[in-house]
Chains A and B, each alone.
Chain A
């Protein structure tokens, strides 16, 4: 199968730069979110539409990012 509707964009969630990557394979949209630095995938979502898949991934990503603490340097 060929992935359809592949998209990759950079945005900010909770003050952190992230990359959102989405594509459709068969009947399912897959979305994964990675931090830009260092570039680790840490949240994903699947769904019947792009919006559903991305919303699920963004909800998880926002929750996980809120737990990242910053320390004075």
Chain B
């Protein structure tokens, strides 16, 4: 197992130089789905996580055929290098990365620092709505070893066979608040899954939005007993912040067995009879 896999990160400089290269597609995915219209990396596609990266009927990740259509319309085929970036230090860029890995896309990368760093460096922005020559895309069978479901989280709580990592803010972890300030409450109870460790997602990042280095990340998780020796399940509220932690653990620290529990607190905190710790 390699200690790190830095080839999954690209710099803003790299994107500025290669955004329109053949075989490369830059894609912005934001929490705030209007951010793309406020200016984006020239040549980038924009994906809406609320409509395009999920099943809009059943609560689930994007269905394979819907993803194939989205990728095809974005001018992406199975050989394209996809570089994702977005606001909030790449929360939903990592969410998209996670789903693309579930469906087996080989070359997916994250622009380190995301939209925050690109803006702070006052790099070029475009308000164009790009259209791409449509391509054909075929997903692979979903790799569900990257995803945790409710029974996996329940089993981890009971058996301690996997480390549960709660990446929400300390106030959400303790139940003092039910949602991030300014956002709608989406659960009936506050607190956390019994036995979970509180390691907020932001601790993975530097002030400029880039990811911390291997040694810093290793020390951060080791301090909470998360060493990669046993499986890890990360969760947050709806699974996007925890996809950032999943990315850091799997690709920057090289842990073999890391899963993102996308049901997260909106599932556990609404479940009748589910044990809660504060």
Q: Do A and B come from one complex?
A: yes
Interchain CB contact under 8 A, A71 and B190:
yes
CA distance A39 to B205 in the complex (A): 12
Contacts of B200 in A (CB 8 A): 37-38
> Is A41 interfacial (CB 8 A cutoff)?
yes
A39 / chain B contacts, CB cutoff of 8 Å: 88-89, 202
Are B183 and A42 in contact, CB atoms less than 8 angstroms apart?
A: yes
What are the interface flags for A47-73 relative to B under an 8 Å C-beta threshold, 1 for contact and 0 otherwise?
000000000000001001101111111
CB pair A38 B202 closer than 8 Å: yes
Do the beta carbons of A37 and B176 come within 8 Å of each other? Answer: no
Query: Which among A6, A38, A64, A72 is the interface contact of B172 at CB below 8 angstroms?
Result: A38
Contact with A along B108-124 (1 / 0, CB 8 A): 00000000000110111
A43 CB contact (under 8 Å) in B126, B179, B180, B182: B182
Q: Is the CB of B202 within 8 A of A65?
A: no
- Interface 1/0 per residue, A12-29 and B, CB below 8 Å: 000010100101011000
Measured between beta carbons, the chain B residues less than 8 angstroms from A3 are 39, 119, 122, 125
Check A37 against B124 for contact (C-beta < 8 Å).
Answer: no
Is residue B169 within 8 Å, beta carbon to beta carbon, of the partner chain? yes
The total of chain B residues at the interface (CB under 8 A) is: 42
Do residues B39 and A1 form an inter-chain contact, with CB atoms below 8 A?
yes
Chain B residues with Cβ under 8 A from A26's Cβ?
A: 127
B32 touches A73 (CB 8 A): no
Residue of chain A at shortest CB distance from B170: A37
Nearest A residue to B118 by beta-carbon distance? A3
Bound Cα distance A46, B125 (Å): 16
Q: Looking across the interface, which residue of chain B has its beta carbon closest to that of A65?
A: B182
B181 interfacial contact with A, CB 8 Å: yes
* Given known A-B contacts A1-B124, A6-B122, A71-B178, A40 and B35 have beta carbons under 8 A apart: no
A64 x B125 contact (CB < 8 A): no
Name the residue of chain B whose CB is nearest to the CB of A33.
B182
Residues in B with CB closer than 8 Å to A67 are 184
Distance (Å) between the CB of B239 and the closest chain A CB? 14
Contacting residue for A41 out of B32, B170, B185, CB 8 A: B32
When distances are taken between beta carbons in the complex, the residues of chain B under 8 Å from A61 are: 182
B47 within 8 A of A: no
Q: Which residue of B lies closest to A37 (CB)?
A: B169
Residue contact B119 to A42, C-beta cutoff 8 Å:
no
CA distance A23 to B39 in the complex (A): 10
CA distance A18 to B183 in the complex (A): 13
Contact between A2 and B122, CB atoms less than 8 A apart? yes
B177 at interface by CB-CB < 8 Å: yes
The 10 closest A-B CB pairs, nearest first, are A42-B182, A64-B182, A41-B32, A30-B38, A35-B181, A38-B169, A16-B181, A73-B174, A25-B39, A37-B169
Task: List 12 additional A-B contacts (Cβ < 8 Å) besides A42-B180, A43-B182, A73-B176.
Answer: A2-B123, A4-B122, A16-B181, A18-B181, A30-B39, A32-B35, A37-B171, A41-B32, A42-B181, A44-B38, A64-B183, A68-B182
